[in-house]
Amino acid sequence: MWTGGADNQGHFLGRISIRRNQVASMEGEVEDLELFQRKIADRFFDLLPLNKKDTHHSSSIPTSLSISSSASDSPLSVDFDGDFSPFSCSDTLLSIAWIRKLLDAFLCCESEFKAVLLIGREPSQVAKSPLDRLIPDLLDRAVKGLDICNAINHGIDAIKFMLSQAQIVVSALEQRPFTDGQIRRARRALAALQGSIVVDEKENTGKSTERSWSFGKRSSGASSKDRHHAPNFKSLSWMVAKNWSAAKQVQSISSNLTAPRGGESTGLALTVYIMNVVLVFVMWALVAAIPCQDRAGLGTHIPVPKQSNWAHGICGLQEKIAEEWKRKEKKGSPGLMKEVVKIDKLAQSLVDYADNFQYPMEEEKEAEFATQVAELAEICRKMEDGLGPLQLQIRELFHRLVKTRAIILDVLDQAGKSSTPNV
């Protein structure tokens, strides 16, 4: 299980300080860059569903990255946050468990990227061409990623409201025998649950409408007697501007994402590009999976080089998520997270039962009804167990992006000072 929250940045900075004046050998550097690419490939390939990789391959992923040094006979290893484990077939694509593994993979890759980029290097090496152009692009994408983290965190708050209403439905409908009071209680909770998802026609004039998370809007779909029970969200965490668009933000961070060419297609330039691709993909996947503000026009394509070995897993995941997005978008899905999709589907079915309830129920109908309530109860249990840790990971992602950006800016600042002649 991901252990989140314990960030070894102080320890990491100490190692950077120790190695700041050491120069890595060319042979050792090539090995580190190749290892970084292999680990990117392994981690994202392990996230593909129905993965048939053998146990030996999965267990061969190293847990630390050796940085070779001409000044030392022994390698320096960097410990990484997170406890990455290979994909399990029980973790369905886009489920809460899968999203947590995706975030875990990103956090591990991000730590390894810092090790490759910074440990054992003079600041001037990081500031020279072509890194002086590529690194600022990465830092800009990281800043834009912070806004996406805010929106996703807000979306999880909204999902928690959905969960609370689903739990009320389960509590009311699990009791036997039924009473009119239980049915009314279930109807109110179902109305509030469905009221959290509304038809958003913004920027969709003349096109099919898309259902999106309400974020404070009130549902016009609930009956007049239950309308006052529709939700009015007020996130207790980071707030998102009303005119902010998740789709536009993803488009912004994915623009100008071009692979290095010629002499830049190897070495650190390629490593920075790979980290850019990983960041863009993870942000795109989060916006597709978790309900957040204005996802209309999100798109299903991000520029990933399919011919590169390190990108095969990312490309496979992109294709599968894009297929889900195209299919669910037509039906107006609030998000691709499996648990949310399942609750939405079960709620629609239970509304029909509640609206047409007559007691005693036919034996066949009552059995089907009980099965759906049991399914809803099981989904609620999974969400209750997973949403809290998931939200902690999103917060960890936010703070990690902030800290890494500060570390790199500090190195660039040192490079600028060392290159300035003394007056």
pLDDT in tens, 47-75: 998 644 444 444 344 444 443 333 333 33
Strand 76-79 relative to strand 197-200, pairing: unpaired
Q: Does pTM top 0.85 for this prediction? A: no
Residue 392 has pLDDT above 90, yes or no: yes
Average pLDDT, the chain: 76
Least confident of 69-78, 190-199, 242-251, 368-377: 69-78
Closest CA to 266 of 64, 38, 37, 28: 37
Q: What residue has token string 């239950």?
A: 226
pLDDT in tens, 274-294: 999 999 999 999 999 998 888
Residue 184 has pLDDT above 50, yes or no: yes
In the chain, where are the structural domains located?
Answer: 99-202+239-422
According to the model, what pLDDT value does residue 84 have?
Answer: 42
The band of 163, judged by pLDDT with boundaries at 50, 70 and 90, is very high
Stronger pLDDT, 128 or 73, i.e. the higher one: 128
